[in-house]
Amino acid sequence: MKKKSTKLFLAALVIAMALGPAPVTGQPPAGQSPATAQTPETLGIWDAYRLSRQHYPSSKQRDLIGQTREYTLQNAARGYLPQLSFGGQATLQSEVTSLPIKLPVAGLSLPQYSKDQYKVYGEIDQVIYDGGLIRNQQEAARVSAEIAEKRLDVELHAVFDRVDQLYFGVLLLDGQIKQNALLQQDIANGLEKMQAMLDNGTAYQRGVDELQAQLLQTRQSLTSLHTARKAYYNMLLMLTGLPPDTPVRLVEPPELALQTSISRPELQWYEYQKRSYDLEDEAASAGLRPRFILFAQGGYGRPGLNMLNNNFAGYAIGGVRLSWNLGGWYTLKRQRQISAIGRRGLDLQKETFLLNTGLQQEQSLLLIAGNLQQLRQDDPIVHLRTAIKNSALVQLQQGVLSAHDYLTQVIAEDQAREARILHRIQMLQSEYNYQTLIGD
């Protein structure tokens, strides 16, 4: 017989897993061994956290984020390199340059310019000062990568809840399986004595049948426990990337020294999002500054630089170019207001997150305290129930207690022991859930 609270706890775990993220595949990426090269003999909860985080498919995005950041930084840095460009044009003009004078000397004439003119050229530009635009682009690439990584950390943080549910679910079932073996032993002890009394004619077959029926039911419960344990265990292996049915022993984790400060990845995500708004303001300001570019141009066309020569000729020119676009003044004020609104919105989201997390934190601390208090009361209850059961076994052997009354005391002790197992696992799970909640 199983205690009602135990059934409710298992049902809650199953519901939580059903509502959680979809299970991930247990197959490792091509060319990689599952989680580790060697299968561990034991699996602690910290190892389960680490392996599940590494194996979760979304974690592979971290490399992609890093590559994107590096490529973006390299592209932005190209702005400091000389920029080569080519161009050309062919034009037909309605009028060309002419001198409004007549030469009095016979045999002399002014040059006549063609109305069709041609030019091809190449130009090299080198930025001297760009107002900080390139530096802003590089910083924006870094911040964008950090935002993507923190968003990934938020997603992966939810994996820890799945680990807690499965890991402690297996530990609870392990404790119940051990307790089931003790229950079977107690029933078998009573059955042995009842059978001896029946053989001596001092007991009825009804008592033996009742003990045998209870023993069969207990063994049936053991089958259900093993089935549930296998399901939880294999899901945990899938989550950590270990092969199915890998024989590893789960280690009961130690109690934790609870912290109070919240260090969830969401908080860092808010800060980097605010930094992105700062960079937008900086980019708008940088766009209002003048740009100085050193350039050199070489080309071939008609006419060349000598306007008195109507023949095709090559030419070269170099110097410093100033570019100053003040159109951004029209939108600068509104852009800063938009950024301020965005930052305020993020502050409100952060305040809401901290409030909700703080409420959950207080609730978790009360739950931990309640579990600890229940656990402290379990030992004397189990001690008394064991003493009563042992006395009932003696009375059964003496023939002054029926098999039914003996079973009542055996089941009462079993329920007390299962309650202690449940409270122990609940306390540990509540501590580790609290740790996951605050992001420690």
What is the C-alpha separation between 148 and 142, in angstroms, rounded?
Answer: 10
CATH number, span 4-17+40-89+116-438: 1.20.1600.10
User: What pLDDT does 11 receive?
Assistant: 36
Q: Given a cut of 70, is residue 297 above it in pLDDT?
A: yes
- Mean pLDDT for 148-152 is 91
Beta carbons of 254 and 147 less than 8 angstroms apart: no
Q: Given a cut of 60, is residue 106 above it in pLDDT?
A: no
pLDDT tens digits for range 26-58: 333 333 333 444 556 889 999 999 999 888 888
User: What pLDDT does 108 receive?
Assistant: 62
Closest to 173 measured CA to CA, from 102, 103, 222, 104:
222
Which tokens hold the place of 39? Answer: 């299968």
User: What pLDDT does 32 receive?
Assistant: 37
What is the C-alpha separation between 343 and 221, in angstroms, rounded?
Answer: 57
Torsion-angle region of 114 (φ positive above 0: left; ψ -120 to 50: alpha; else: beta): beta
Beta carbons of 237 and 47 less than 8 angstroms apart: no
Beta carbons of 420 and 385 less than 8 angstroms apart: no
The DSSP symbol for 112 reads -
Mean pLDDT of the chain: 84
The whole model's pTM is what? Answer: 0.75
- Mean pLDDT for 208-223 is 92
> Which residue did the predictor score with more confidence, 404 or 440?
404
The DSSP symbol for 317 reads E
Beta carbons of 303 and 310 less than 8 angstroms apart: yes
Q: Supply φ then ψ for residue 111, to 5 degrees.
A: -65, 145
pLDDT tens digits for range 255-270: 888 888 899 999 999 9
User: What pLDDT does 193 receive?
Assistant: 87
Q: Given a cut of 80, is residue 147 above it in pLDDT?
A: yes
At which residue do the structure tokens 């989201």 appear? 349
Q: Given a cut of 80, is residue 13 above it in pLDDT?
A: no
User: What pLDDT does 328 receive?
Assistant: 81
Which tokens hold the place of 191? Answer: 């059955």
User: What pLDDT does 102 receive?
Assistant: 66
Cβ neighbourhood burial of 355 (10 Å; 0-12, 13-18, 19+): exposed
Q: pLDDT tier at 287 (50, 70, 90 boundaries)?
A: confident
Q: Given a cut of 70, is residue 175 above it in pLDDT?
A: yes
Q: pLDDT tier at 253 (50, 70, 90 boundaries)?
A: very high
User: What pLDDT does 357 receive?
Assistant: 93
